Amino acid sequence: MVKRAMQQWLRVIITLLILLITEGHPVDITYLQSAVAKGAVCLDGSPPAYHFDKGFGAGVNNWFIQLEGGAWCNNATTCLSRTKTRLGSSKLMVKTVSFSGILSNKAKFNPDFYNWNRIRIRYCDGSSFTGDVEAVDPRTKVYYRGARIFSAVMEDFLAKGMKSAQNAILAGCSAGSLAAILHCDRFKGLLPPGAKVKCLSDAGFFINAKTISGASHIEQFYSDVVNTHGSAKNLPQSCTSRLKPGLCFFPQNVAQQIKTPLFLVNAAYDSWQIKNILAPGVADPRGTWRNCKLDILKCSSAQLETMQGYRNEFLKALNGLGPSSTRGYYINSCYAHCQTGTQETWLRDDSPRLASTTIAKAVGDWFYDRNRFQEIDCPYPCDKTCKNRNFESDVQPVDMDL
């Protein structure tokens, strides 16, 4: 039994490697050493980093910037722990990453953005690029400087040609996607007045929901993140002027006031949210949700009913944003988290479809004003294009144990 399971895993790994080789392309890391003098550093004091694949042809003046994901740290202990990983230190990041999906340089796999300047900013601050505390923690020697990192890398890109951008998108995955929402209007303000600038959130619409035990753990967690990192001054003032800063980490309280066009790609049954907001370990001490969280096919009828309730809360938060002629959304019913950075979910023959449309086409049509895409999938399990996916591409496994 064990041998057979190992053989199956090996087949999966080999298949994934083959897909990366055929569908992705390697891009080397760039360390922004000049940022250190500005105090724009990772949690451990190392320089920020990014991967930059230059645009070509008609795309040389177009910029796509993706902010990496990887959850958050909410106190001195959890942030110190991250300094021992690539989520807190650029010293521990891999030197080369594979660009695929919306970062692909092939027209076949990414028809609308393949020849743009495509950048992936690495995530090493634990605050969705919002923190800025001048003093260094004397006990842990941890730096809380996420907002400075955002500013430093943007200055670098402007100097590298983004100041002449004709088209630009600020995007992200998970915690990076939340950062794209929070920095959306700020990003637009950096670019030429005549540029077409929009923002894309992939799996970043985290909602303020209670756990299966009825506790508001994610609300308290976000409040701790904001307090630890000194994030309040870098959150949208349109929100902090009316709500507590911790509540302004929730897109449902921020997105309505964003002036820059925003597109939301999200699974209504977001696998990360189910695992960490609805049914975190602290709310499930007996582990009755463990198998369900790993594979939606193993959920009991009662657990599926609870998940349907979560979907209803998600849609209520989304609808609470109100109508918008510039906002787009692609809310499918896959059990997934982050769907734009993986070729299989972005654009392939077997990719998920909503209203007979791939994510790639929906985002491209919205950006170029070919079609305003605003679609919500039917409830699980009616969508057969999902194939029960549980992708968490671009996301470091993080057990937040909320």
pLDDT, mean of each 10-residue run, the chain (402 residues): 48 44 85 98 98 98 98 98 98 98 98 98 98 94 98 98 98 98 98 98 98 97 98 97 98 98 98 98 96 97 98 98 97 97 97 98 98 97 80 43 40
pLDDT at 23: 73
Q: How far is CA 384 from the centre of its chain?
A: 25
Residue 181 in domain:
yes
Q: SS3 for 9? A: helix
Residue 18 in domain:
no
Host domain of residue 237: 23-376
CATH number, domain of 317, equals 3.40.50.1820
Between CA 27 and CA 314 the distance in angstroms is 36
Got the DSSP string for 278-306? Answer: IS-GGG-TT-TTHHHHH-GGG--HHHHHH
- Among 53, 132, 270, 377, which one carries the catalytic annotation? 270
Between CA 276 and CA 212 the distance in angstroms is 11
pLDDT at 396: 42
pLDDT at 65: 98
Residue 45 in domain:
yes
- Retrieve residue 190's tokens: 């950096």
270 as an active site residue: the answer is yes
Alpha helices in 235-358 (DSSP H): 237-240, 271-273, 290-294, 301-319, 343-346
pLDDT at 22: 54
46 as an active site residue: the answer is no
Residue 9 in domain:
no
- Among 46, 128, 337, 351, which one carries the catalytic annotation? 337
Count structural domains, the chain. Answer: 1
Helix (H), strand (E) at residue 21: helix 2-23
Residue 100 in domain:
yes
- Among 104, 127, 174, 201, which one carries the catalytic annotation? 174
Residue 388 in domain:
no
Name residue 122's amino acid: R
pLDDT at 285: 96
